[in-house]
Structure 1
C-alpha cells in the first residue's frame, strides 16, 4: 500500500538539507506527498464504496446521489489538510506506523469537501478544480432530464445535502481511527472546535461581502484566520498532535498554533492574489471574481486604502456586470496602488515567523524540515 512507501521517502528528508527554491527537499516532499495522497485516497475509496452501496439499498436514486458525493470527494485536490495533520502527528511521535491514524487524516478531506460544496453554493461559483461545481453540474442534469421545477434551485438544494452528507461521513470515518477511546475523545474535541471556527470564518466572509465599506485589513485577516488558517493548517497540526496523544505540551501547541496561523494566513493571502492574477487553467477557477463582486479580501481592502483619489474612483466606479476588459483594468489598478507588493511582503513575513516558531519546541527533526518545505510550497503556489 501507499502508506508502506512513506517511510522510505521520509528517511531521505534530513535536517542538514536547506530549504530553497531548487533544493532536494522539494523533490522528496513531492514524492512523499504523492504517496500520502494515494494512502488517503485509498482510505476514502474503501470507505465510500461501502457507504454508497448502503445508500443504494435504500433507493437507486439515493445510490446516484451518494455516488455524486463520492466522485466529488475523489476528484482531485492537493490534500493539504491531511498533509499538515500528518506532520503534526509525525512531529509529536517521530517515526511510527501510519495505518492507525489514516482514517482520521482522511476525515479532514471529507470535512474539506463539505466546506467547498457549501462555499461554492454561497459564492455562486461556476467552476472548481477545472470542472463545474456540484450545484452547477446538478442543475445541468436536472435541466437535461426535463424534470419539474427550477433547475438552479434543485442543484443548490442537492448540493447542500451532498455537503451535509460529507460532514456525516467525516464523523463516521473519524470513529474508525485505531486509537484508545480517551484519546479519540480528545481528538474529537479539537475536531469539533475546528468545525465551529470554519463556520465562523465562513459567516464573516459572507458578512464582509454584504457590508464591504465597514471592512478593514484586520477584519479581512480575521476571516482568513478562521475561514482558512484554522482548518487548513493550524487545527490540522494540533489535530495531528492529539492523534499522537500529545495534548499537554504547551510549547508544541504554541509552536503549531503560531506556525499554523502564519502559514494559514499566508496561504489565504496567496489565494487572494491567485483569485485576481492566477491562470484559470492552473487554478481551476475563473480569475477576477473578487473584483467583480467587490469582495473585501485583504488585497482589495489594502488597494482601496493605498489608492490615490483617481485610482479609488476606478476601483469603486465600475458598473454591474463587470466585463473582462474592466476586470483586467481593475487588476492593473490594484497593482499600481502597491497593494500586491504589500501582500507579497506580508506573505514573506508570515513564513519567516512560522519558521521561527518551529524552533521553539521539541519537534521531530524530519517533521521540522518537512514543515519548512511545506511552508514554501503552500505559500508560493500557482494553484
Structure 2
C-alpha cells in the first residue's frame, strides 16, 4: 500500500495532502525502506541503525526547495490527467534523492570548512561520538541515492538519464583559494555556475523533464541555460548571506572569510579597492583570527558591499526574465518563475 493511499475495506481512498505534506510522509517511508531489513543479524542491525540516525539528522531540516521542485516542475510539464499516483510517488522519491545528495555534500563540506552549526543545530561531525566518522556517513548518504533509484526507477525509460544527472554532479570544482594573490576574478564565476547551480537548479528540473518524456537535447540545453544563470545568483546570494546573514535565521555561522573562500564578496571587493585596501585584505583574509575577520567585514562595509549586492540582485532578476523569454519558448515559464520566487530576496 502506498503512503499516498489509505485502505478502507476493499477500496482505496487517496489522501488529500499538499505536495509538502506528501514529501514529508515520503521521508518516513524512505527511512523505513533503507533501514528495516535483516535486523536479526546484530552486525547489520548496528549498521542500519547508524544509517537511520544519519538520515534523520542530516536529510530533513532544510528549505527542501530542491526536492519539492521535482514534483512542482512535473506538475507544470504534465496535465493533471497524466499525473498518476505512481508518477507522483516516484517524483517525490527522486526529490528526496536530491535532498540526500545535498545532505551528502553538506556533511562533507562542514568537515572541510570546520563549520560549527548547520540548519540551526551542531554539524553532524560535531556531535558527541561522531567526529571524522562523519566522512563514512556522508558516503552512506550518497549510496542511499542509488539504492532508491534502482529500486523505484530501474524499469522506467528515464532511469539511465537520472543516473547520468546524479553522477555528473558528483565532481564539483573546489571553491577554496590557495592564495589571495591569484587572479580570483577569473576563477569565481566558473565555480559558482557549476558548484551549486547544477544540482540545485538544473538537476530537479531536468529530472522532471525526463520523467515527463522530454528528452530533446535542445530543450534540456535551453533549460540549463536559464537554470545555471539562476544558480549562479543563488551561490552569490549564499556568499552574501555567509557574511551578512543572521545566524538565527540562516541556521549557520558564516566562515567564508577565515576559510579563504573564493566568494563573490572578495572577488568584487578586489575589483574596486585601492592598493592600500588590498594590502589590508591580503593581511587578514583566510586567517582564523576573529579580529582579522572583523577587519575584512569592516573593509566590505567601507566598500558598500551590501549596496553593490542589492544592485546585482535586481540586475540578475532582470537578466533572468529575459532568458526565460528567450529560451523557454516551448517550456512552461512557471517552471522557472517558481524557482525565482523562492530565491530572490531570500534571507536564509
TM class by shorter-chain length?
0.7 to 0.9
Which residue does the alignment assign to 1:123?
Answer: 113
Give the number of the structure with larger relative contact order, counting CA–CA contacts within 8 Å between residues 6 or more apart.
Answer: 1
Q: Quote the offset at 1:224 in angstroms.
A: 1.1
Q: Report the CA distance shift for 1:314/1:281 in structure 2 as closer, same or farther (over 3 A).
A: same
Which residue does the alignment assign to 1:327?
Answer: 293
Which stretch shows the higher mean deviation, 223-232 or 289-298?
Answer: 289-298
Unaligned runs of 5+ in 1: 5-33, 142-153
Q: Quote the offset at 1:55 in angstroms.
A: 7.0
- The ranges of structure 1 where at least 4 consecutive aligned residues each deviate by more than 6 angstroms after the TM superposition are 1-4
Which stretch shows the higher mean deviation, 225-234 or 78-87?
Answer: 78-87
Which residue does the alignment assign to 1:105?
Answer: 95
Aligned-residue Cα RMSD (Å) equals: 2.7
Q: Contact 1:73/1:113 (CA < 8 Å) preserved in 2?
A: yes
Matched, 1:175 2:158: no
Which residue does the alignment assign to 2:125?
Answer: 135
Q: Quote the offset at 1:159 in angstroms.
A: 0.7
Which residue does the alignment assign to 1:254?
Answer: 221
Unaligned runs of 5+ in 2: 6-16
Q: Report the CA distance shift for 1:311/1:193 in structure 2 as closer, same or farther (over 3 A).
A: same
Q: Deviations over 1:320-357 (max 9, x none)?
A: 4322x543342131132244433333333332222323
Distance 2:267 2:251 in 1: 25
Distance 1:220 1:342 in 2: 17
Q: Contact 2:281/2:296 (CA < 8 Å) preserved in 1?
A: yes
Q: Secondary structure at the match of 1:245?
A: coil
Distance 1:53 1:213 in 2: 53
Q: Deviations over 1:292-324 (max 9, x none)?
A: 23322121122122112332233222394322x
Distance 1:3 1:84 in 2: 19
Matched, 1:350 2:322: no
Q: Following superposition of structure 1 onto structure 2, how do residues 334-345 of structure 1 map, counting pairs within 5 Å?
A: 334-345=300-311
Distance 1:194 1:243 in 2: 19
Distance 2:98 2:105 in 1: 11
Q: Contact 1:104/1:177 (CA < 8 Å) preserved in 2?
A: no
Distance 1:62 1:209 in 2: 37
Q: Secondary structure at the match of 1:121?
A: helix
Which residue does the alignment assign to 1:216?
Answer: 184
Q: Secondary structure at the match of 2:215?
A: coil
Q: Report the CA distance shift for 1:48/1:260 in structure 2 as closer, same or farther (over 3 A).
A: same
Higher helix share: 1
**What number of residue pairs does the alignment pair up?**
327
Distance 1:70 1:87 in 2: 24
Distance 1:88 1:212 in 2: 40
Q: Report the CA distance shift for 1:86/1:259 in structure 2 as closer, same or farther (over 3 A).
A: farther
Partner of residue 46 from structure 2, selected from 57, 61, 69: 61
Matched, 1:267 2:252: no
Q: Secondary structure at the match of 1:351?
A: helix
Distance 2:329 2:217 in 1: 10
TM-score (norm. length: structure 1): 0.77
Q: Secondary structure at the match of 1:54?
A: coil
TM-score (norm. length: structure 2): 0.84
Q: Contact 1:280/1:286 (CA < 8 Å) preserved in 2?
A: yes
Distance 2:4 2:267 in 1: 44
Q: Contact 2:284/2:295 (CA < 8 Å) preserved in 1?
A: no
